[in-house]
Amino acid sequence: MLIGYARTSTYEQNAGLAAQVRDLKGLGCERIFEEHASALSERPALDAAIEYAREGDTVVVMKLDRLARSVKHMWEVLDRLRGKSVAVRIENMGIDTSTPTGKLMLNILGGVAEFEREMMLERQREGIQKAKLEGRYKGRSPTARAKTAEILALRAQGHSMASIAGVLGIGKASVVRALKNPHTGTAPGTI
């Protein structure tokens, strides 16, 4: 059985979702799971599609980025499907993991993507180190620490931690740290 999965990031992308569903139907998908979910959010329809799939089925997506948010997530999804003996078909790449060639191609593409990510992170670390040596990199400015006096004043007036966080536009955890150690804005024992 072919099982389709379609996803868009926002509700405003209805045309994109409709196009995916149309194309999945055209490919012969008997059941289609669809959802509006950002790449980083939970995906109940994807979980439902994986749960629904049975041995010998194939989950079909139009593009890889509709299925997985990262290389790590892709491997997690593929491992879940492999554990059920379910194949994956990625239409725009011509990859079908029900074939040995499809499995090989997906492994190669996943490896290349992982390698590229590692290279990008290495270049980023090198750039930051160079900027630090040149005195151009200061890191993120400690916004909450700079507001310690305001935090203490609002707390003395009886404001709750949530209220202080809202008024100052900082996280509640930052308020807690500032109250625990008002001299530095950090909790004792932390840097």
User: Phi then psi for 181, rounded to 5 degrees?
Assistant: -140, 85
Confidence (pLDDT) at 75? 86
Q: How far apart are CA 178 and CA 184, in angstroms?
A: 7
Confidence (pLDDT) at 56? 96
Burial of 97 (0-12, 13-18, 19+ CB in 10 A): buried
Tell me the percentage of the chain whose pLDDT exceeds 70.
Answer: 92
Please identify every residue annotated as catalytic. Answer: 9
Reference 133, options 123, 125, 145; nearest CA is 125
CB 45 within 8 A of CB 33: yes
Confidence (pLDDT) at 184? 58
Confidence (pLDDT) at 191? 43
Domain edges within the chain:
2-99, 140-191
Give the type of residue at 41.
S
pLDDT band at residue 187, thresholds of 50, 70 and 90?
very low
pLDDT band at residue 87, thresholds of 50, 70 and 90?
very high
Q: What is the pLDDT of residues 99-157, one digit of tens each?
A: 999 989 988 887 887 788 788 889 999 988 898 888 888 777 667 778 888 899 889 99
Helix or strand holding residue 151 (H, E): helix 148-156
Q: How far apart are CA 57 and CA 79, in angstroms?
A: 15
Reference 34, options 23, 85, 73; nearest CA is 23
Could you tell me which CATH class the domain 2-99 is placed in? alpha beta
Rg (CA), the chain: 24
Confidence (pLDDT) at 117? 78
Q: How far apart are CA 72 and CA 78, in angstroms?
A: 10
Average pLDDT, the chain: 86
Highest average pLDDT, of 26-30, 112-116, 187-191, comes from 26-30
Q: What is the pLDDT of residues 45-79, one digit of tens each?
A: 999 999 999 999 999 999 888 888 777 888 899 99
Reference 153, options 182, 132, 129; nearest CA is 182
Confidence (pLDDT) at 188? 45
Reference 131, options 121, 139, 141; nearest CA is 139
pLDDT band at residue 80, thresholds of 50, 70 and 90?
very high
Highest average pLDDT, of 80-94, 151-165, 174-188, comes from 80-94
Distance (Å) of CA 80 to CA 43, 76, 136:
14, 6, 45
Q: What tokens does 151 get? A: 């935090």
Reference 59, options 81, 39, 80; nearest CA is 81
pLDDT band at residue 11, thresholds of 50, 70 and 90?
low
Residue tagged 């059941």 (tokens): 31
